[in-house]
Amino acid sequence: MSELQELVEGVYRDLKSHIGEGKIADYIPELAKVDPKQFGIAVATLDGGFHVVGDAETSFSIQSISKVFTLTLALGKAGDTLWTRVGREPSGSAFNSIVQLEYEKGKPRNPFINAGAIAVADLILAGHQPREAIGEIVHFARFLAGDDSIAIDHEVAKSEAETGYRNIALANFMRSFGRLDHPVEHVLGVYVHHCALAMSCRQLARAGLYLAAGGNDPLLGNRVVSRERARRINSLMLMCGHYDGSGDFAFRVGLPGKSGVGGGILAVAPGKASIAVWSPGLNEYGNSQVGAAALELLAHRTGWSIFGS
C-alpha cells in the first residue's frame, strides 16, 4: 500500500467514531432524507493516482461546490467583465444572506455566496434557454471528471425549486437593482439544477485536478483555464469558499476549498492534489463537520497547507 493511501486510511480511521456528527441540511426537504452516517475521502494526485476510502464512490448532492465549476465556465464566457457583476471579497456572512446586497446596490460580494452564484448563473444564461445552460454545465462537469455518467438529481432540484424562498428573494432583490439580465425563474432554474449535480468524492476529486495543476487537466493534457485563472479561482476558494467559516477553514486546513450543504468539500493542494471529502452533518456555518476535520488532519499529516508544512 502506498504511503499516501495509508495516510488517507489513517485519517478515516481516526474520525470514524465521529461519523454522523453535525446537523444535516433539512431546509431542502430532499437533502433531509440522506443517511447522515456516511463519510468518504478521495485524493487525486497530479500523476493520476487515486486514494480513496469509505463512501468515496457514493454520489451525493454537491450543492455549492458546483459554484466552482459555474464560475470557471462564466469566466470563460465573460472574462474579467464578470467582476463588474460580482465582487471578490469575503462576505463574513451566511451563504444565503441578503444584508450586504442592499449596501452594494445588488452586487454580490463574491461568486460563492448564493447571491453571487445566482449572478454567475445569469451570465451563463446569455444567449441560451435555461435547458441549454443547464446542459452546458452538466457537460462541463462530465468533461472535468472524465465521466459521462454524471447527472443532475432532479428530485433535489425540484425540492429546492419548491422551497427556495430565500434564493427567490435574493434574485428578485438583485433584479430590482437591474443586476440580472434574465427572468428570475430562468436564473433560479439554472441555479437549483447545477446545485443538484450528483457526484461522488472520486468524481469530484478528479474534476478538481485542473485547479491543482495550474489550469491544465494533468491526466489528459487539456488546458481547462489559464494558469493565472486557476490561481485566482483558488484564491477565491480560500477567501470565500466556506462563507462566514472561511477564516476558520483557512486557519485549520490552509487549502483553497469549497463546501456544499450536501456535506461535500472540494479542496485543492496546488501542485500536489485535488481532494474531495463528504459527510452530510454540517457545522454552524453549513460546512461538513467531519469533512473539515478530515481535511485538517490530511493537510497536517501531508504538510500540504499553502502556508507551510
Annotated active-site residue 285? The verdict is: no
Please, is 181 exposed, middle or buried when counting C-beta atoms within 10 Å of its C-beta (0-12, 13-18, 19+)? middle
Amino acid symbol at 239:
M
Q: How far is the CB of 182 from ligand GLN (least distance, A)?
A: 18
CB of 278 to ligand GLN, least distance (A): 13
Query: What's the distance, Cα to Cα, between the start and end of the chain in Å?
Result: 24
Contact letters (x/-) for ligand GLN, 114-133, by CB under 6 A? x-------------------
Answer for the pair 229, 215: CB distance below 8 angstroms, yes or no: yes
Q: Are 212 and 49 in contact (CB under 8 A)?
A: no
In terms of DSSP H, where are the helices of 196-226? 201-207, 209-212
140 binding ligand GLN? (CB under 6 A): no
Least distance CB 113 / ligand GLN (angstroms): 9
Residue 246 found at the interface with ligand GLN (CB under 6 A): no
SS3 247: helix
**Annotation marks residue 165 as catalytic:** no
Residue (7 or 94) nearer to ligand GLN, CB: 94
260 contacts ligand GLN (rule: CB under 6 A): yes
93 included as an active-site residue: no
Buried b (16+ CB within 10 A) or exposed e, 208-246: bbbbbbbbbbbeeeeebbeeebbebbbebbbbbbbbbbb
Q: What mask of x and - would describe binding to ligand GLN in positions 52 to 71, judged by CB under 6 A? A: -----------xx-------
- Could you say which residues in the range 141-160 bind ligand GLN, by CB under 6 A? 160
Q: Give yes or no: 17 in active site.
A: no
Q: Which residue ranges make up the annotated binding site for substrate?
A: 64, 114, 160, 167, 191, 243, 261
The C-alpha atoms of residue 222 and residue 214 are separated, in whole angstroms, by 11
Binding of ligand GLN by 95 (CB under 6 A): yes
Q: Which residue has the cell 441549454?
A: 132
Annotated catalytic residue, options 12, 34, 52, 64? 64
List of residues contacting ligand GLN (CB under 6 A) = 63-64, 95-96, 114, 160, 167, 195, 260-261, 286
Catalytic sites, residue numbers:
64, 67, 191, 243, 261
